[in-house]
Amino acid sequence: MANETVTNTDVFRIECAEVLDISGVAEFHAHCLEALGTQQNLVLNASQVDRVDTAALQVLGALIQSANDRKQTVEWEDPSESLCQSAALLGLSEILCLPIAAE
């Protein structure tokens, strides 16, 4: 499943792919830049994420930081356990505003 973006008048939604890794990070980064350019609030649907690597987590961190700088809110919609665990393992849960994964 590819990264997809969905817009409406209130928010810009990013549908995260099942695999977020270095092989697709350039495309994912482009979607994130598009989202920031809308100046809308952002919703990240990460319910399908099964695997995520450091490169993708870095892009997510940059997205959240840039959105905060631009006064755009970022909300997670049902982040997967895999995403939460990967972020926690790298100490990024707080930066990414993700719930701490259960051990």
* CATH code, domain with 67: 3.30.750.24
Q: Which residue range(s) make up the domain with 21?
A: 4-89
The pair phi, psi for residue 88, each rounded to 5°, is -65, -40
For strands 74-77 and 41-45, give the pairing. parallel
3-state secondary structure of 59: helix
Binning pLDDT at 50, 70 and 90, where does residue 10 land? confident
For residue 97, what is the DSSP state?
Answer: T
Predicted confidence (pLDDT) per residue in 22-72, tens digit: 999 999 999 999 999 999 999 999 999 999 999 999 999 999 999 999 999
Q: Is 98 inside any structural domain? A: no
Question: What one-character DSSP code corresponds to residue 57?
Answer: H
Cα–Cα dist 21/28, whole Å: 9
Q: Which helix (H) or strand (E) element contains residue 56?
A: helix 54-69
Domains of the chain: total? 1
The pLDDT tens digits of the residues spanning 78-98 come to 999 999 999 999 999 999 999
- The answer to the question of residue 94 being in a domain is no
Q: What is the pTM of this model?
A: 0.87
Q: Is residue 44 part of a domain?
A: yes
Band (2; pLDDT cuts 50, 70, 90): very low
